[in-house]
Structures are given as structure tokens and as C-alpha cells.
Amino acid sequence: MALDAHPVNSLGFAKPPSRTRVVVAMSGGVDSSVVAAELAAEGYDVVGVTLQLYDHGAALAKKGACCAGRDIHDARRVAEAMGFPHYVLDYENTFKQAVIDEFADSYLAGATPVPCIRCNERVKFRDLLETAKDLDADCMATGHYIRRNIGTHGPELHRAVDPDRDQSYFLFSTTAEQLDYLRFPLGGLATKAETRTLAARHGLSVADKPDSQDICFVPNGDYAAVIEKLRPGAADPGDIVHVDGRVLGSHRGVIHYTVGQRRGLGIGGLSDPLYVVKLDVETRRVVVGPRALLSTRTVPVREINWLGDTPFTSRPEWHMGVKVRSTRPPRDAIVRPLSETEAEVELIVAEDGVSAGQACVFYAPEGSRVFGGGWIHKG
């Protein structure tokens, strides 16, 4: 070993922590706060960055979301307590163009979008990551529960140790190049309780702060109210129609419904339960039918981000586990590439409520590796 060689530090660099700059994406919550505090305590050159993603005035009055004014304040307090610099960057216009507008348009097209994935893909892991490089950081760390393991072909994406906290569904679009630069220190923790214990150990004010539940720009989960504000006239009324053509009632706007929905349809008095099986935006019809019509085995997927060691199209088919909803475990499937970015996914056992706009994430049949995924479309 050369005399000036240095052992690899915990972030994977062969130099002392004090000479390793890391930008930490700080949401103001306990997870990213613990990441920043732990790295600062280890002696790293930490720079905290918080993104203001939507109107700050509105944010100050809102709780329970990752981007609110209170959260910016909390992130700043953590940085002050741990003695590292903290910056707030105004990404409001970027966020609206890259995330909010598409969310509204997708919903109006009858899809069920997942804006948190687009935010990671288009804002945090693209624009913020470039900002980290501009700050001469060696890497960027986040509080996501996912693992970055080094394999024979380089960094690999793996599910978190704690299956209840795993966020791989929301990070499938992380590219190999981004993965090379990113670090996820919390992915190896066994439980969320460990994170809160670390926060208390550092004396952080956010140690007992509740987890955010809502999409940051959708107060109280009321998607329809947000879309009505963004797209006036989007809540035009129409008919609730059975698949056999019968008009069963009326609705107050297609945006108030999602595929698979059973409750709140306002068409009681029928002998068998009915579910939303289709949203026809052009005719403003909510189509309902028996649950059997929700079952799907063939899922068209596009915009695929592939994280395998060999090209996606190097095989006619891949046997994998796939997730078609964030709340469901991976199911056995055959993924058949149509191009480098498109595929047909055959589910071995049919799934209910597969919806355009959701992600279809690919997993190794055994083990924890994530192979990327794509977006479900109507085909």
C-alpha cells in the first residue's frame, strides 16, 4: 500500500470524511435529518439542501407534507444544531412544469399518476443532483429507504432491509449514472424506530415528527380539488354507465373516480357490488361493472429504465417479480421486451385494478435486487 493511501470511507471514497463533500437532500423530516446528522457526526463535509417546490405562502399553512414551510424551518434547525451549511433552492417553476402539470393532465386522461416518482426522476435526481455536482460534492445522499450495493458490474439498486419502509417502487427510474453518484444510508436499517432513536441521540427536534402521508401539493389527499384548481372545468358532470350500456346514475366529474373504486359511487340498491372498470374522459362516462372485469394479466409498459447487467433486449423474455402498485408485493411475471424502452408484461396470476399511470417495477425473482421498471399505459 502506498504511504499516502487512505482506507475507503463509509461513502465509498478512498479519503478522509473531512475531505469528502456530500450534499444531503433535506425534506425537513426525520429520515433525511438523520442522514445529515449522522454524516456530519462522522466528520463529512456536509451541505444540506432543501427544495421549495410550491407556493411558500400556501406551504406555511399546510402540515403533513414533505415540502411545507414548516419543513424548511425544521431542516434549517437541524443544520444549525449539527453545524453544517444549509440552502433553500426555489424549484417552484421546475416542479410545476415537470411534475404538477403532468399529474393534472394524466388524471384528466383517466390515468392514476404517481407524482412522487416523477419528482425523484425529474427534480431531485436530475436538477438537484446537478446542483450537488456544481457544489463540487463527491456524492448526494437522501433519506430514502433503499439500498445501493456494489455488484460485479458496478452499483446495483436493492430493496431496503425493512420491507415496510422499502421505497424501491418510487425510485425505479433512478438511472445507472445517477446511482453511481447517489447514497442511501438508511436502506440497511431494520426498522423506522432505529431512525428515530438516532435522531434522539443527536438531539434533533424532528425526532418525534410524524411521517408525511400526503403528496406534498395535494392537501388531505384531495386530488380532485387540486386538479379543479389547475384545470378549471375539469369536474364537468356525466353519466355512470354499466358495461352493458345501462345508465345507472350521474357523477360530478370523472376526476373524482379511479379504476377499481367501489365506495362512493352513489348507485346503491343494486344486487351485486360494482366497481369502476374504466374512465372515459372524452364522453365523461364512469364505466362500472363486476369485479371480474378488473382482473388483468397483460400489462403494456413503456418508458422503461433498465438496471440489469446485460441489455434489456438481449433476451426474448425475463422471468421476474413485478409490482403494479406501491402497496402490493412483487408478483411472478414474464417481461417480454418490445424495444429498449417498451415491454409487454404477463402476470402469472391476474391482478385487480391495474391502472394506466401507475408504475410497473421489476425485481429479481429471488433476493432484493431492483431491475428498474416502466410506466403502465393503456396499450
Tell me which residues are annotated as active site. Answer: 119, 216
* Separation between Cα atoms, residue 279 and residue 337, nearest integer Å: 28
Q: Which residues neighbour 261 within 8 Å (Cβ) at sequence distance 6 or greater?
A: 275, 276
The answer to whether 206 touches 151, Cβ cutoff 8 Å, is no
Helix count (H) and strand count (E) of the chain? 10, 17
C-alpha cell at 257: 373516480
The answer to whether 173 touches 121, Cβ cutoff 8 Å, is yes
What residue has cell string 350500456? 245
Backbone φ/ψ region at 360: left (φ over 0), alpha (ψ -120 to 50), beta: beta
C-alpha cell at 371: 431491475
Looking only at the bridges linking them, the beta strands covering 154-159 and 182-183 are unpaired
In degrees and rounded to multiples of 5, residue 143 shows phi and psi of -95, 20
Helix (H, G, I), strand (E, B) or coil at 298: strand
Burial class of residue 75, CB neighbours in 10 A (0-12, 13-18, 19+): buried
* Separation between Cα atoms, residue 181 and residue 186, nearest integer Å: 16
Name the residue type at position 251. Answer: H
Q: How many CA atoms lie within 13 A of 277 on its CB side?
A: 17
* Separation between Cα atoms, residue 135 and residue 85, nearest integer Å: 12
* Separation between Cα atoms, residue 372 and residue 307, nearest integer Å: 5
The answer to whether 67 touches 217, Cβ cutoff 8 Å, is yes
317-331 core/surface letters (b: 16 or more CB in 10 A; e: else): ebebbbbbbbeeebb
Q: Is the dihedral of CA 121, 312, 169, 46 positive or negative?
A: negative
